[in-house]
Amino acid sequence: MSKQHHQAFFVSLVMAITAIASAQSGYSISEFGLNFIADHEGIRYNLYNDPVGHCTIGIGHLVHKGNCDGSDASEQEFLEGITEDRAHELLRSDIAVAERAVNDYVTVPLTQSQFDALVSFAYNIGSGNFRNSDLLAKLNTGDYDSVPKELNKWIYGGGKVLPGLKTRRSDEGSLFQSEVMDSDASRMITLTLYIHDRGEDGPAIPNAIVSGQDGSGNNFRETAGESGLAAIAGDSGTWSFEASADGYETNSWSQKITDTCTKHAFLKQSSGSAFMHNSESSVVGKWAFHFIRESWESSSEKVTRGPDSKDEWDSTVEFHSDGTFTESTSYMTFAGEWTQDANNIRLQDSLEFRDGSGNYVSASQTSESRDGIIEGSTMNGRGSIRTQMTIKGDDSYSADISEAYTWSANRIE
């Protein structure tokens, strides 16, 4: 395949995203872990260049690679600075990517402290670097002792040792070693589980039945109270769950529960419930989307829109009750996450792609967000896509691609 074809292929993939793990699976960073990252990143309310020269704001939020100079469209929303609340909002959004990377790529059990340390590391170096690191490869063989040493290899920026990175890696290593895993037996813990209608921001479902097995295979069965809360005591490990309530579809799942914690589960009203399909406040279901591109910009003249790139396109999106969505276009099917606050809808997704042949390698990272308003059986809003791509070969170069579009949607079912 020629480089020109690869370029066109990247542009056609700009809408693609990867399936994002459900909020009901894997570990979650602790409040201590969040504060640990914030303390090491520091907080800046205006745009600045990080130690390796990338445009940044807030608590280590990457705006774009390269210096802040006003030429990149992604800087526009931050030109007047941000508030502390917005900085923490960006941090939580960014950390979700690192959390997902650690959950997806680590195959051995972790303590909470070990998970927090790895999320800090992955957040700092990027999910792609974490996935390809020797640290991950050794850890997944059960070599926990190698982690602090491997962390200390990631202290360079621009070919020089950066004191801030050196301190951070040392602190991450100490955090990783601070909690010893009990290899002999599981621990008794308490899970506080909230049952919601459609999503975490949805109303509580009182009297829902939650049953299953804890990490040691012990059976449990609890009834949620008026606040939708069920408190379950059991052994740490991988738990299996089944949640049900009158008028709702049964939801079954498994996840690691390693410490006393709070989780949320979501139920979708059954097909016989008129509220589920007719409610103006419910996005769960299948929708037909139509998109109209408003702008397309590339930082490199070598990357142009492919001949098959269209200014209007369509897709079908199915919103699931667990906070994920599945989207189908004429050329692929992909997935992402959605949130709803009253009638405000947000969709987010991301993609990492790599292809190579001989000495030719192409790679890209794409992120997309959409915001809109739901009104009965219709929705409309705006969205943006940003792709960072790198081509290596006889003619190596990199480019940032930014797109903006409007969208509308109609409920199908």
* CA 388 – CA 365 distance, rounded (Å): 5
Please pick, among 31, 41, 403, 413, the residue that the annotation labels catalytic: 41
- The CA distance from 79 to 70, in Å, is 8
**Can you read off the two tokens belonging to residue 105?**
């790529």
Beta strands in 34-165 (DSSP E): 44-49, 55-58, 61-64, 156-157, 160-161
Burial class (CB in 10 A: 0-12, 13-18, 19+), 295: exposed
Cβ(20)–Cβ(27) under 8 Å?
no
Say if CB 245 and CB 208 are below 8 A apart. yes
- Is residue 253 within 8 Å of 244, Cβ to Cβ? no
Question: DSSP state, 269?
Answer: B
Residue 19 belongs to what H/E stretch?
none
Amino acid at 259: D
Cβ(235)–Cβ(189) under 8 Å?
Answer: yes
Query: Nearest-CA neighbor of 11 among 406, 405, 408, 401?
Result: 401
d(CA 148, CA 297): 42
Q: Are strands 188-197 and 261-267 parallel, antiparallel or unpaired?
A: parallel
- Annotation marks residue 41 as catalytic: yes
| Residue of 5, 110, 16, 4 whose CA lies nearest to 328 | 16
Burial class (CB in 10 A: 0-12, 13-18, 19+), 325: buried
Q: So which residues are the catalytic ones?
A: 41
